[in-house]
């Protein structure tokens, strides 16, 4: 696979509005988009930092993986996943990863937030960091 850059860093937060205040007021970043992703039971908020985005994730349901992550983390948020932009496409990258014996969470690309096609690799195979692969279909 051909990774061009870190597309975003996903950060789980217990309270999205409080978290946005920190990123805007303390760091001077601007939230350019908020989006509910029904599929993942989260509300996301995005900040652009150079080529990379910060993706804040707040659970919309106790069954959300983000709610479970925060519960395991003693009610606190924290870094949740690392997302790479792949130039040769997510489907191709998944096939290659599977060939190399990497455990996949998603067997096929699906729709993520901010218009991206995404897929997750399993942290058991990725040195314990939940890893997302992304492509922007608008840039293909």
The reply to whether 109 sits near Zn ion by the rule CB under 5 A is: no
Query: Which helix (H) or strand (E) covers residue 103, if one does?
Result: none
The reply to whether 10 sits near Zn ion by the rule CB under 5 A is: yes
Q: Which residues 6+ apart lie within 8 Å of 13 measured at CB?
A: 19, 56, 57, 58, 77
Which residue in the shown chain puts its C-beta closest to Zn ion?
Answer: 10
Residues 67-86, interacting with Zn ion (CB under 5 A): 83
Determine the Cα–Cα distance for residues 90 and 134; give it in Å rounded to an integer.
6
Determine the Cα–Cα distance for residues 47 and 60; give it in Å rounded to an integer.
20
Instruction: Tell me how many residues contact Zn ion (CB under 5 A).
Output: 4
Which window, 5-13, 26-34, 63-71, 87-95, contacts Zn ion (CB under 5 A)? 5-13
For Zn ion, which is the closer residue by CB, 56 or 83?
Answer: 83
Query: Which helix (H) or strand (E) covers residue 85, if one does?
Result: strand 78-86
Minimal distance, residue 98 CB to Zn ion, in Å: 20
For Zn ion, which is the closer residue by CB, 4 or 99?
Answer: 4
Minimal distance, residue 55 CB to Zn ion, in Å: 5
Residues 20-59, interacting with Zn ion (CB under 5 A): 55
Q: Which residues 6+ apart lie within 8 Å of 137 measured at CB?
A: 115, 116, 117
Instruction: Say whether 64 sits in a helix, a strand or coil.
Output: coil
Determine the Cα–Cα distance for residues 63 and 113; give it in Å rounded to an integer.
19
Minimal distance, residue 44 CB to Zn ion, in Å: 8
Where do contacts with Zn ion occur on this chain (CB under 5 A)? Answer: 10, 55, 83, 132
């Amino acid at each position: 696979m051909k990774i061009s850059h870190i597309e975003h860093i996903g950060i789980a937060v217990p309270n999205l509005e409080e978290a946005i205040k920190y990123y805007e007021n303390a760091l001077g970043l601007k939230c350019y988009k908020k989006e509910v992703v029904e599929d993942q039971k989260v509300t996301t908020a995005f900040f652009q930092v150079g080529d990379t985005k910060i993706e804040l994730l707040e659970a919309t349901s106790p069954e959300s993986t983000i709610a479970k992550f925060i519960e395991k983390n003693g009610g606190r948020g924290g870094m949740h996943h690392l997302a790479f932009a792949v130039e040769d496409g997510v489907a191709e990258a998944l096939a290659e990863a599977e060939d190399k014996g990497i455990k996949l969470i998603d067997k096929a690309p699906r729709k993520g937030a901010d218009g991206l096609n995404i897929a997750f690799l399993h942290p058991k195979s990725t040195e314990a960091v939940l890893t997302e692969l992304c492509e922007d279909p608008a840039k293909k």
